[in-house]
Amino acid sequence: MAQYIVGLTGGIGSGKSAAADAFRQLGIKVVDADWAARVVVQRGQPALEQIATHFGADVLLESGELDRAKLRKLVFEQDSERRWLEALLHPLIREEIKLALESATSPYAILESPLLIESGQDTLVQRTCVVDLPEELQIARACARDSNAPEQIRRIMAAQLPRQERLQQADDVLDNAADRASLESQVQTLHEQYLQLAQLTRQQQ
């Protein structure tokens, strides 16, 4: 496991991927929880079978892969179904994340996760960085990206920590209300701090 891990979190459409790309450009290994969530439900994985048994074979595409759009609709319309899915997937996602972090060789690593705090993945990290922006801008960007209805995005946001509660958990905040250049220069500043913190941690061991 990389010795110093920074958790990068924020609500749907906040700009986590954009921030993560900027860290990658600086040579930092990024492990993405949404990627791990895809790995654990690939064809042939036991979790995919359990999902098909619980929700019915309708949640599979003809190829046998998960129909993610269908499952997305089902779980964000009913809290109990979302909780069932999370209870199945979160422990598997955590193990996948740990494996990926173990192979990180950069001076520090980033764990990018929309549910870093909600799912307890923050126990895997030394520091929490929150990507923040006003909710209306978050909704507008998330809708534009996925051509999703605002109501769908609001439902997903309702399943995530409210903005203020997330900010209370932050060691660092990336303000993503302005353009990408502004985000990238904030990432550069944090990167320099993280290099120092990672070095201090190594020296103390």
Ligand X SMILES: CC(C)(COP(=O)(O)OP(=O)(O)OC[C@H]1O[C@@H](n2cnc3c(N)ncnc32)[C@H](O)[C@@H]1O)[C@@H](O)C(=O)NCCC(=O)NCCS
Ligand Y SMILES: Nc1ncnc2c1ncn2[C@@H]1O[C@H](COP(=O)(O)OP(=O)(O)OP(=O)(O)O)[C@@H](O)[C@H]1O
Q: Which residues bind ligand Y (CB under 6 A)?
A: 10, 12-18, 34, 114, 141, 145, 176, 179-180, 183
Q: Indicate whether 114 belongs to the interface with ligand X (CB under 6 A).
A: yes
Q: Tell me the closest approach of the beta carbon of residue 129 to ligand X, in angstroms.
A: 16
Residue 138, burial from CB neighbour count under 10 angstroms (0-12, 13-18, 19+): buried
Q: Indicate whether 161 belongs to the interface with ligand X (CB under 6 A).
A: no
At 178, list the tokens.
């302005």
At 70, list the tokens.
């269908």
- Sign of the four-CA dihedral 156, 159, 160, 165: positive
Of 1-9, 71-79, 165-173, 187-195: span binding ligand X (CB under 6 A): 71-79
SS3 content of the chain, % helix, strand, coil (to 5): 60, 10, 30
Using the minimum distance from each CB to ligand X, give the nearer residue, 2 or 51. Answer: 51
Q: Tell me the closest approach of the beta carbon of residue 175 to ligand X, in angstroms.
A: 19
Q: Which whole-number Å values give the CA distances from 38 to 48, 50, 89, 91, 190, in the listed order?
A: 10, 15, 10, 14, 29
Residues annotated within a binding site for ATP: 13-18
Residue 7, binding choice from ligand X, ligand Y, none, Cβ under 5 to 8 Å by partner class: none
Neighbours of 130 (CB within 10 A): 26
Residue 52, binding choice from ligand X, ligand Y, none, Cβ under 5 to 8 Å by partner class: none
- Binding ligand X by CB under 6 A: which of 43, 68, 180, 202? 68
Q: Tell me the closest approach of the beta carbon of residue 105 to ligand X, in angstroms.
A: 24
Q: Indicate whether 86 belongs to the interface with ligand X (CB under 6 A).
A: yes
Q: Indicate whether 119 belongs to the interface with ligand X (CB under 6 A).
A: yes
Using the minimum distance from each CB to ligand X, give the nearer residue, 157 or 198. Answer: 157
Identify each DSSP E strand in the chain by its residue range. Answer: 5-9, 29-32, 109-112, 127-132, 172-175
- Binding ligand X by CB under 6 A: which of 31, 60, 75, 104? 75
d(CA 105, CA 28): 9
